[in-house]
Structures are given as C-alpha cells and as structure tokens.
Amino acid sequence: MKAIISDIHGNLEALRAVLEDIASKDIGDIVCLGDVVGYGPNPIECLEIAGRKFAACIRGNHEEATLSEPVEFNTKAEEAIRWTHDVIEQLPPGQRSEILAFLTKLPDTIRDGVVFVHGTPAQPTRDYLFPQDVRQKERMAAIFALVDTHCFVGHSHIPGVFTEGGYQHPSEMLMEGIYMLDQGKSIINVGSVGQPRDKDPRACYCTYDGDTVVFRRVRYDVRATVRKIYANRHLHNSLGDRLSEGR
C-alpha cells in the first residue's frame, strides 16, 4: 500500500499530523505529488522531512519557481516563493546544498504502473484539473489519452476522481471516500495536505493498494500554523485565514 500526498505548502503541523496517520496504518511508501513549499511558514522543515521520509517526490510549480523565477503567480504566492528562495539561500552551506540537490533532482512525472504527476500528464507542473473541467470534452479526452490506467494528481487542492464519464467528489462516493479502481481509466486528485480548498480544513491525502483509493482527512493544529503565518511579514495574513475555512 502507498500513501499519496500533495501540496504540503510549508505547513509543518499538517504534514506531521498526516505522517502520524500514515504511520498508524500498514503503509510501505509515501509518494508526494509536489508543492512541498509555498504559502506556508516552514518550507525548510517540510523539505527535510520530504528528503528523509518520502519514497518519491514530484516537482510542483512552487518548487520549479523556487529554483528559477515565479511566473504567472498571484502577488501573495510570488512573495511567499521569493521568501522561500531567500530562506534557502541563507542556510548554512552544507544544508543549502542538500536542499538544492533535493529540489533539482525532482522529476516532473513518475510512471510506475500508474502515473504520478503534480498537474496533468499534458503539462506536469502547470496544468490544473478542476471539477468543472469534465465539461471540456476534447481537453479531457486528450489528457486521458496520456493515461494507460490510473493517474494521481494534485495542484488544484480539490480531491476527487475524474473518469472518462464524469467526476466525483469524495463526499459523494459510495462508502465515504472509497473508490474502486475497476471502472476504467481514472485521474485521482488526492487533495492537499497543507492548504485544502474544498471547504474542509482538515488535511487530505489518499491511500492506494492497487485496487482501491481511500480519501482520508486528518485534523491538525490549524491555529498554530495560522499564528506562524501572521508572525511572518513575508506571508500575507490571508494565507492563514483561508486555512481555517478550507478555501
């Protein structure tokens, strides 16, 4: 069994809570679909955990921007990325080298029977899939053409399952979040650990055993993360406000 997580965004409290939940289950590997950094107050701590504990990690658009230059980001996100870059640059040389080596080596896609990617197989770091995209038949057909069986994505922070016939949110699924993988091709958005956007403030991740995907929600100390964001002059207060509302 694998745990598949995404979009931690420097939220150490959420990441620790999810790792505790994963540790309580019979799970061998953790796969992260990117955006370990961005928005949140603890990028270095989250990156160091990623380097130690994850079996695999994908490059997200926030890692990409941290290594180069933020493009097409809103002002709040760009400020957070530039701050993250500066924090990395100010690390002691050995620690900085390890962090940069980790970031530089991140792949944009992993194919291991199924596809793991941050955005979509068409545009690995930049392309979003939102629930309403099921109405774009040609676009969805082009993306599904790049998937042999199943694909796991993040990026939108909204958990759910896309099939060639439609879309389901976990709350609508039979047996409360359990999705059976015997229904043809599917693209599973695993949601976000550190910044959920489906009006549920609990951290979200998935477990995968080859036959089923289970969406799991985990409570964490949201107020502790919010306080850190408020105390950081480089992070806009709204990045903390949204965590309490899951938006």
Does 166 score more than 80 pLDDT?
A: yes
pTM for this entry? 0.93
pLDDT for 177: 77
For residue 168, name the pLDDT band (cuts at 50, 70, 90).
confident
Q: Is residue 157 within 8 Å of 198, Cβ to Cβ? A: yes
> What average pLDDT does the chain have?
92
Contacts of 234 (CB under 8 A, 6+ apart): 79, 80, 82, 83
Contacts of 151 (CB under 8 A, 6+ apart): 114, 115, 116, 117, 120, 121, 186, 187, 188
Does 93 score more than 80 pLDDT?
A: yes
Count CB atoms within 10 A of the CB of residue 93.
7
pLDDT for 71: 78
pLDDT for 68: 87
Task: Please write the tens of the pLDDT for every residue from 172-184.
Answer: 664 467 888 877 8
Which two structure tokens, joined as six digits, stand for 124?
């690995």
Domain that holds residue 148: 2-245
* CATH number for the domain that contains residue 28: 3.60.21.10
Phi/psi at 231 (5° precision): -80, -10
Does 46 score more than 50 pLDDT?
A: yes
Least confident stretch, 22-26, 37-41, 182-186 = 182-186
Number of domains in the chain: 1
102 strand-pairing partners: none
The rounded Cα 223 to chain-centroid distance in angstroms is: 21
